[in-house]
């Protein structure tokens, strides 16, 4: 599985591509940051983020785009910019028919470090170790993007099993409901007047 992780932000949008499957060594394919000038008009910044993400999608052709789920922060202006950059990433993926997965910061930290309260340095150190890199990716947004991709690769098998179990349960419920309807109802459906 090849996953593009996106750590959304208006000034620095971290991007990182990781390939592999759960339980096996993972490989970093690329890591970087899509930057926009803080003094540029919002619409132009969003277009720049879109163009940057599209370039990553073209170059690395991921199967899934894992985006950090935006959560409430004290600074409304910051959370708005993060949400806007997040929406651009989701739009780019959806336009190509790619699966979009959202992971909270604590899910990512827990998956990569074992603790949902890990700090950025701990996440960077574990990303470096897990991907067998010489040094932590800089800036932290880039390391966070790789952590998102790792989190998705590791969590996807369990999530898929859960979704399959839910779908199977719904099928069984529908079959049971269909079987419990009176036989006369089934027989009368085929008759024409």
Contact 150, 111 (CB under 8 A): yes
Give the whole-angstrom CA distance, residue 124 versus residue 144: 7
Give the whole-angstrom CA distance, residue 158 versus residue 22: 10
Contact 100, 90 (CB under 8 A): yes
Work out the burial of residue 128: count CB atoms within 10 Å of its CB; fewer than 13 is exposed, 13-18 middle, 19 or more buried: middle
Catalytic residues: 7, 68, 141
Contact 65, 101 (CB under 8 A): yes
């Amino acid at each position: 599985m090849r996953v593009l992780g996106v750590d959304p932000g208006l000034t620095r949008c971290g991007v990182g591509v990781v390939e592999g499957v759960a339980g096996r060594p993972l490989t970093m394919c690329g890591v970087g940051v899509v930057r926009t000038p803080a003094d540029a008009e919002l619409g132009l910044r969003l277009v720049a983020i879109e163009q940057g993400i599209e370039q990553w999608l073209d170059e690395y052709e991921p199967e899934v785009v894992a985006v950090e789920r935006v959560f409430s922060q004290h600074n409304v202006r910051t959370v708005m910019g993060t949400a806007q950059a997040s929406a651009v990433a989701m739009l780019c993926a959806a336009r190509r028919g790619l699966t979009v997965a959202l992971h909270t910061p604590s899910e990512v930290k827990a998956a990569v470090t074992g603790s949902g309260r890990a700090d950025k340095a701990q996440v960077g150190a574990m990303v470096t170790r897990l991907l067998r890199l010489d040094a932590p990716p800089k800036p932290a947004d880039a390391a966070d993007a790789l952590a998102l991709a790792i989190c998705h690769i590791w969590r996807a098998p369990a999530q898929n099993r859960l979704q399959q179990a839910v779908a199977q349960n719904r099928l069984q419920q529908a079959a049971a409901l269909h079987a419990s309807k009176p036989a006369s109802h089934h027989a009368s459906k085929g008759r024409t007047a």
